[in-house]
């Protein structure tokens, strides 16, 4: 048997998130800038010959049929391999936070098992599997910061300046469906361009989901106000409930008023597994 240990799955932040329309099938059309940060889950993979997919939760308990297990089974079926895997998971990225933890874990699973099982598939063969698992998975498979459009499948690489961010995940979680089904959600923001964004990438636009989330979860509003009290310009990432702000050099923060997860993170230029697969798209 062979193994891959301490394999990282990084979180992401949405620097902005605009809803520009809605398709007839109900899916929302968006524009966003996705940025990798060094808040990571850690996965450990061991190949097996009995064909089973086993997951071991080393920290918090995950649902039985989570995205990690589904990603492994998806690749196993698509490749017709007889190999199986034992996957041990150390969760660090909070759930229901808009940070893409589940999607990142799924992408890391596809990348790691592609290597461990000796499939050597290029990104183009992994992408359909990723998109079937979730709209954010292709971003993590591409492995770089990106301008994202459509329902998450149109991805253009971005280069971003190095920066630090304070990220807070409040205690409450939010279900994405509650946000997108809200009648007050803004669904017709004017389309922007990458050149618009590039002028001030960390100050551009807004998160159209944030007003709905603040109404549903007062803790989000409290965290945003606390960050604003330091002269920062905070916003929510994804559909929440994590919020973040770019952190100037030399600024120190007091203890937050809530019992929240708070971490200072740096952005990443490329995914930690970026060299594990041929990026042919």
Residue 103: pLDDT over 70: yes
Are the beta carbons of 31 and 190 closer than 8 angstroms? no
Residue 152: pLDDT over 90: no
The model's confidence at residue 252, banded by pLDDT at 50, 70 and 90, is confident
The model's confidence at residue 125, banded by pLDDT at 50, 70 and 90, is very high
Q: Which of 41, 105, 136, 208 is catalytic?
A: 136
What string of DSSP letters covers 71-139? HHHHHHHHHT---EEEEEEE--SPSSSSS-HHHHHHHHHHHHHHHHTT----HHHHHHHHHHH-TTHHH
Residue span of the structural domain in which 7 resides:
1-281
Task: Write down the pLDDT at residue 196.
Answer: 96
CATH code assigned at 37: 3.30.230.10
Does residue 241 have a cis bond before it (omega within 30 degrees)?
yes
Kindly report the CA angle at 280 between 279 and 281, in degrees rounded to 5? 100
Instruction: Note if 91 is an active site residue.
Output: no
Q: How far apart are CA 122 and CA 104, in angstroms?
A: 18
- Over the chain, what is the mean pLDDT? 95
- Greatest mean pLDDT among 158-167, 168-177, 247-256 lies in 158-167
pLDDT tens sequence across 177-196: 899 999 999 999 999 999 99
State the pTM of this model.
0.96
Q: Give me the percent of the chain exceeding a pLDDT of 70.
A: 100
What string of DSSP letters covers 13-60? EEEEEEEEEE-TTSPEEEEEEEEEEEEEEEEEEEEESS--EEEEESSS
Task: Write down the pLDDT at residue 258.
Answer: 80
Task: Write down the pLDDT at residue 1.
Answer: 62
Instruction: Note if 12 is an active site residue.
Output: yes
Across residues 251-263, what is the average pLDDT? 89
The model's confidence at residue 82, banded by pLDDT at 50, 70 and 90, is very high
Q: In angstroms, how far is the first alpha carbon of the chain from the final one?
A: 32
Residue 227: pLDDT over 90: yes
Residue 215: pLDDT over 80: yes
Across residues 256-275, what is the average pLDDT? 94
Q: Tell me how many domains the chain contains.
A: 1
Q: Which of 12, 41, 105, 208 is catalytic?
A: 12
Task: Write down the pLDDT at residue 81.
Answer: 97
Q: 153 versus 145: which is more confidently predicted?
A: 145
Residue 281: pLDDT over 80: no
């Amino acid at each position: 048997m062979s193994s891959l240990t301490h394999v990282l799955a990084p979180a992401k932040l949405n620097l902005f998130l605009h809803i520009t329309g809605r398709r007839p099938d109900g899916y929302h059309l968006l524009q966003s800038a996705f940025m990798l940060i060094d808040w990571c889950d850690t996965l450990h993979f061991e190949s097996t010959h009995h064909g089973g997919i086993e997951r071991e939760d080393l920290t918090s308990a995950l649902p039985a049929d989570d995205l990690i297990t589904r990603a492994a089974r998806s690749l196993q079926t698509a490749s017709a391999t007889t190999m199986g895997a034992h996957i041990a998971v150390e969760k660090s990225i909070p759930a229901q936070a808009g940070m893409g933890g589940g999607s990142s874990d799924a992408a890391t699973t596809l990348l790691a098992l592609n290597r461990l099982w000796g499939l050597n598939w290029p990104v183009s063969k992994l992408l359909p599997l990723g998109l079937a698992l979730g709209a954010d998975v292709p971003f993590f498979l591409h492995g770089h910061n990106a301008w994202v459009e459509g329902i998450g499948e149109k991805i253009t690489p971005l280069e971003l300046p190095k920066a630090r961010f304070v990220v807070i995940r409040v205690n409450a979680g939010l279900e994405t469906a509650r946000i997108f089904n809200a009648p007050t959600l803004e669904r017709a923001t004017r389309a922007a361009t990458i050149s618009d964004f590039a002028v001030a990438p960390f100050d551009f636009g807004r998160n159209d989901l944030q007003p709905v989330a603040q109404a549903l979860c007062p803790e989000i509003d409290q965290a945003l106000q606390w960050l604003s009290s330091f002269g920062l310009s905070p916003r929510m990432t994804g559909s929440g409930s994590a919020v973040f702000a770019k952190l100037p050099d030399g600024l120190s923060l007091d203890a937050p008023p809530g019992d929240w997860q708070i971490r200072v993170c740096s952005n990443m230029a490329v995914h930690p597994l970026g060299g594990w697969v041929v990026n042919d798209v």
